[in-house]
Amino acid sequence: MNRSSALLFLTIVLMVAAVFSSCSTTRKTIREPLKEQGTEYLFNSLKDNELNYNYFSAHFDATFNQNKKSTPISGQIRIQHDSLIWISVSPMMGIEMVRFLVTNDSIKYINRIDNTYFIGPFSYFNHLINSTLDFDMLQSFLTGNDFSRYENTSFKGSIDNAEYKLVTTNRRKLKKYIRNNEEVNIPIQHIWLNPETFKITRILVREISPSNRTAEAKYSHENISGQLIPTDIIFDVETDQEKTSINIEYSKVVLSDILQFPFKIPEKYTRINKF
């Protein structure tokens, strides 16, 4: 080995050593609070750093992928915390095509292209995306927060690839939110947290069923109005038979005190049973 080759080899070795040293330091840094304060520390930090809002609004560009077909859409989304989700889809030159209004119990839809409307239970949303969600879970997926209507006592904390990780099984819905004697629980849930911001970077919900259904969301955040807000979301629902994904990019995000949620069905529109 000549001198120049030896110097090159030494440089590469030092660079690799520096990388592994850095990773080791990171793991040690994030391991100590977990070791000293436990899982409760992680979960409390998650809750302390969640997006805090009464009203949320944003423009969005999204791509819906299913059965090897991609459909780009754009529009606006508005959320009143724990109450309403309003979505207007305008894919062509800002001309609205459809409008949704989602509540804890229902989903309403206006199609301005064919002059029809739909009113049905929230469960219809699950039929569309082949998943099992409720309003709380949908709201949380869209804003990067944890589910707020489920118990928090059964998590276990660990470190996974230089991030904190929380895992729970059979996470049950709080009794005060259960309606019509429904049996609601999350069989398996994984949450990954940024070790510096404690924001959710990834969340995975897995069902124990013949189809092995999973729902997963991944987040990238930006500082807007003093809060870290998810501006890029990749949402995947997968079974043994198919995979559906929605990639969402938020822009013009505003956290305001009050918003309007206009939803008036024109008299001449025809009600349909599905869309």
CA distance 135 to 86: 12
pLDDT at 211: 66
167 is a domain residue:
yes
CA distance 110 to 100: 7
175 is a domain residue:
yes
Q: How many domains does the chain have?
A: 1
pLDDT at 152: 83
> Which residues are registered as beta bridge partners of 158?
165
pLDDT at 9: 43
38 is a domain residue:
no
Listed in sequence order, the residues at least 6 apart from 134 whose beta carbon sits closer than 8 Å to its beta carbon are 104, 122, 149, 173, 184
Strands (E), the chain: 55-66, 69-80, 84-89, 98-102, 106-111, 116-121, 156-160, 163-172, 185-193, 200-206, 214-224, 227-238, 243-256, 270-271
Place of tokens 């955040």: 221
CA distance 158 to 30: 10
pLDDT at 256: 82
> Over the chain (275 residues), what is each successive 10-residue block's mean pLDDT?
48 40 45 67 92 95 87 93 94 83 93 94 73 82 92 86 89 79 77 94 83 86 94 88 89 91 95 85
pLDDT at 20: 33
CA distance 236 to 214: 8
13 is a domain residue:
no
pTM exceeds 0.85 for this model: no
Token readout for 124 is: 């219809």
Domain with 147, as residue range(s), is 47-268
34 is a domain residue:
no
pLDDT at 59: 95
How are the residues of the chain apportioned to helix, strand and coil, as percentages rounded to the nearest 5?
25, 45, 35
CA distance 248 to 61: 6
- CATH number, domain with residue 198: 2.50.20.10
251 is a domain residue:
yes
Secondary structure of 77-110 in HEC code, one letter for each residue: EEEECCCEEEEEECCECCECCEEEEECCCEEEEE
Beta carbons of 159 and 30 less than 8 angstroms apart: yes
112 is a domain residue:
yes
56 is a domain residue:
yes
